[in-house]
Amino acid sequence: MKSPVMGLDSFIKAPPLGLMQLAAVVPDHEVEILDLKYRNLSSRSLAKKISRADVVGVSTLTPSYSATLKICQIAKEQGIPTIVGGYHPTLVPEVIERPEIDYIVRGEGELTFPQLVDALDNGQKMDDVLGISFKKNGGVQHNSERPLIEDLDTIPFPRRNLVRNNYYSYFGASVDVLESARGCVHDCHFCCVIQFNNRRWRKKSPERVIEELQQMNQRRTWHIFQDSEFTLNMKRVGVICDQIIQHGLENKWYSAQGRVDDVVNHPDIVDKMQEAGFKMLFIGIESIFQKSLDKIGKKITIEQIKEAVKMLHDRGITIFGSIIIGNIGENREDALKTINFARDLDIDLMQFTPLTPYPKTRLFEEATKEGWIKEPNYDKWNLVEPIMATPELSIKEIHDLVIQAYRSFYIDGFRTNFLMRGGMRMSQDQFLWFWRMVPDFLTTSIPAIFKFIGDLRKANNH
């Protein structure tokens, strides 16, 4: 079986950092990682692999919940205990009521998971294992929360060797991943990261970040920071960049997720990022209307978006932007203006997502109260297919607009966005690196984008 592909996952395949991290905290146990986004296994093959396990653990997001239940069912049929962790069971701990699931790990797993495994090994009671939920005496018990890990430097290094032979790619080029910090202090109403981390941000030391970079697969082209917001403390970013240069690690292509206001307010640090090898920044644009940005709690302005795009391009840093289709208060005409803005703003790559109210978010509370959620099947909560209407737009209208956005940017706008602007950048020394990526991008990502849009159309017709 295969885990569901979500949005641009069809051509962005990254190593499962969370699973590699959990494998590191049980060093005395033999661990095998089955990355079902990377590898397609039949149910029979999966059952055969599971049969060799003493325990099966699954990390799940909301749209992969159904796939998780199928995996757990295969394990239960063979009498193997099942543990489920990740965002979805943390936000919806009621999933422990499912017969396929024996235990859930809520929140961070690096301290909870090994304690749970030890308790299973030794036949101990589970009452004292913080951060888990389990079945007891015919009912369900939710143990107390486990505090967040304060010192991230104490976490063991991820066991990258477990997926070393897998080839992961990012827009056609090879990739490896790391994290330098966890959490976010902002309050966007659609974001479940702040629910998972209690709106707190914790960081690893620059020295630890360099150690992780040195342990990464040096044959991979991209090294991507998976922090929810890498640029939250730009002074720290500057120190990390200095360390990268001092250790001779600037020959890699680095990418991270950041905010436009951090970019605009710290041009000197953006200069250091360029010097250290940062080639791409993922930024959440979300809307071109200030009223929408204010409603979702983004706390940025349209002018900052434009200024950040220019600043990054002036330094040879490409932009992977994200825009929400169907913001509350925006009608079809507003969405079309947003789509045209994305195409005309000179952004290099774009992700268009329907507004999705993940559990426990402020958006979820509002959407539930107003009756906007029309699709209860979590498989559809994939940031591709809309699952909620708004007072201004129906689900079908939002779906049509998502298709139109991708088509406008990647197909209709291909000649303008990629070829013509790319040709102009050939004369810019800071963009010469980009042309090393073009052949693989054209042969892998572009066909994948066409297929992705075609699949969206088919889903819309069902």
**Structure confidence by residue, pLDDT tens digits, 342-353:** 888 888 888 999
Residue 387 lies in a domain: yes
pLDDT band at 418 (very low <50, low <70, confident <90, very high): low
* Per-residue pLDDT at 416 exceeds 60: no
Q: Of 29-38, 251-260, 328-337, 387-396, where does mean pLDDT reach its minimum? A: 29-38
pTM here is 0.90
Q: How many structural domains does the chain have?
A: 2
Do 344 and 246 lie in one domain? The reply is yes
Do 233 and 182 lie in one domain? The reply is yes
Instruction: Please write the tens of the pLDDT for every residue from 156-211.
Output: 999 999 998 888 888 778 899 999 999 999 989 998 888 887 788 999 999 999 99
* Boundary of a domain, candidates 142, 177, 197: 142
pLDDT for the residue numbered 454: 72
Residue 151 lies in a domain: no
Over range 315-337, report the average pLDDT.
Answer: 94
Q: Of 130-144, 360-374, 400-414, 448-462, where does mean pLDDT reach its minimum? A: 448-462
CATH, residue 172? 3.80.30.20
Do 77 and 131 lie in one domain? The reply is yes
pLDDT for the residue numbered 442: 61
Do 349 and 217 lie in one domain? The reply is yes
CATH, residue 100? 3.40.50.280
Do 138 and 178 lie in one domain? The reply is no
Residue 162 lies in a domain: no
The boundaries of the domain holding residue 82 are 7-142
pLDDT for the residue numbered 164: 87
Residue 338 lies in a domain: yes
* Boundary of a domain, candidates 127, 142, 157: 142
Residue 148 lies in a domain: no
Do 378 and 419 lie in one domain? The reply is yes
pLDDT for the residue numbered 167: 87
Over range 105-127, report the average pLDDT.
Answer: 95
Average pLDDT of the chain? 89
Residue 210 lies in a domain: yes
Residue 98 lies in a domain: yes
* Per-residue pLDDT at 252 exceeds 70: yes
237 HSE (CA, 13 A, CB side)? 29
pLDDT for the residue numbered 210: 98
Residue 114 lies in a domain: yes
pLDDT for the residue numbered 438: 62
Do 349 and 453 lie in one domain? The reply is yes
pLDDT for the residue numbered 439: 63
Instruction: Please write the tens of the pLDDT for every residue from 52-75.
Output: 999 999 999 999 999 999 999 999
Do 271 and 380 lie in one domain? The reply is yes
Do 227 and 278 lie in one domain? The reply is yes
Instruction: Please write the tens of the pLDDT for every residue from 428-454.
Output: 666 667 666 666 666 666 676 667 777
Do 258 and 337 lie in one domain? The reply is yes
Do 280 and 351 lie in one domain? The reply is yes
Do 113 and 194 lie in one domain? The reply is no
